[in-house]
Copies of this chain bind each other. A is one copy, B any other.
Amino acid sequence: MDFGFSEDQEMLRDQVRKFLDDQCPLPQVRTIAAGPQGYSPDLWKQLSELGWLGLTLPEEYGGVGLDWVDLVIILEETGRTLFPSPLVSTTLAATAINAYGTAAQRQQWLPGLASGSHIGTLALLDEIDFLSPEAIRMTATSSGDSYRLSGQKRFVQDASAADVFIVAFRSGAADSDIGLAIVPAQQSGVSVEDTPGWDRTKRTGVLTLEDVEISPDALLGGTMLGAHAVETLVDRGALAVAAEAIGVCEGILSLTSQYALDRKQFGSPIGRYQGVKHPLAEMYVDIECMKSLVYYAAWTLQGEPDEAPAAIAKAKAYASESVCSAGVNGVQLHGAIGYTDEYDMQLFIKRSKWSRATYGDEDFHYDRVATFGGL
Report the stretch among A7-15, A270-278, A305-313 that lies at the interface: A270-278
Copies in the complex: 2
* Binary contact readout A266-309 vs B (1 if CB under 8 angstroms, 0 otherwise): 00000001110010000000000000000000000000000000
What's the nearest-Cβ distance from chain B to residue A335, in Å? Answer: 15
**Bound: A274/B280 CA distance, A:** 14
Question: For residue A278, which residues in chain B have a CB less than 8 angstroms away from its CB?
Answer: 274-275
Question: For residue A274, which residues in chain B have a CB less than 8 angstroms away from its CB?
Answer: 273-275, 278
Q: Which residue of B lies closest to A273 (CB)?
A: B274
Question: For residue A275, which residues in chain B have a CB less than 8 angstroms away from its CB?
Answer: 274-275, 278
Q: Which residue of B lies closest to A275 (CB)?
A: B274
* Binary contact readout A237-281 vs B (1 if CB under 8 angstroms, 0 otherwise): 000000000000000000000000000000000000111001000
What's the nearest-Cβ distance from chain B to residue A317, in Å? Answer: 22
Q: Which residue of B lies closest to A278 (CB)?
A: B275
Q: Which residue of B lies closest to A272 (CB)?
A: B274
**Bound: A278/B278 CA distance, A:** 12
What's the nearest-Cβ distance from chain B to residue A234, in Å? Answer: 30
**Bound: A275/B272 CA distance, A:** 12
Interface hub of A273, A274, A278 (most chain B Cβ within 10 A): A274
**Bound: A275/B275 CA distance, A:** 6
What's the nearest-Cβ distance from chain B to residue A152, in Å? Answer: 31
What's the nearest-Cβ distance from chain B to residue A308, in Å? Answer: 34
What's the nearest-Cβ distance from chain B to residue A148, in Å? Answer: 43
What's the nearest-Cβ distance from chain B to residue A281, in Å? Answer: 10
**Bound: A31/B105 CA distance, A:** 83
What's the nearest-Cβ distance from chain B to residue A62, in Å? Answer: 55
Question: For residue A273, which residues in chain B have a CB less than 8 angstroms away from its CB?
Answer: 274
**Bound: A274/B273 CA distance, A:** 7
**Bound: A278/B275 CA distance, A:** 8
**Bound: A275/B280 CA distance, A:** 13
What's the nearest-Cβ distance from chain B to residue A372, in Å? Answer: 25
**Bound: A275/B273 CA distance, A:** 9
What's the nearest-Cβ distance from chain B to residue A365, in Å? Answer: 23
**Bound: A273/B278 CA distance, A:** 11
Residues from 76 to 90 in A contacting B, C-beta threshold 8 Å: none
**Bound: A278/B273 CA distance, A:** 11
* Binary contact readout A176-193 vs B (1 if CB under 8 angstroms, 0 otherwise): 000000000000000000
* Binary contact readout A190-213 vs B (1 if CB under 8 angstroms, 0 otherwise): 000000000000000000000000
**Bound: A275/B274 CA distance, A:** 6
What's the nearest-Cβ distance from chain B to residue A183, in Å? Answer: 42
* Binary contact readout A128-143 vs B (1 if CB under 8 angstroms, 0 otherwise): 0000000000000000
What's the nearest-Cβ distance from chain B to residue A28, in Å? Answer: 38
What's the nearest-Cβ distance from chain B to residue A30, in Å? Answer: 34
What's the nearest-Cβ distance from chain B to residue A266, in Å? Answer: 13
**Bound: A257/B208 CA distance, A:** 63
Residues from 147 to 190 in A contacting B, C-beta threshold 8 Å: none
What's the nearest-Cβ distance from chain B to residue A263, in Å? Answer: 16
What's the nearest-Cβ distance from chain B to residue A277, in Å? Answer: 9
Q: Which residue of B lies closest to A276 (CB)?
A: B274
**Bound: A273/B276 CA distance, A:** 11
**Bound: A198/B273 CA distance, A:** 38
Can you list 6 contacts pairing A with B, beta carbon distance less than 8 Å? Answer: A273-B274, A274-B274, A274-B275, A274-B278, A275-B275, A275-B278
| Cβ-closest 6 pairs across A and B | A274-B275, A274-B274, A273-B274, A275-B278, A275-B275, A274-B278
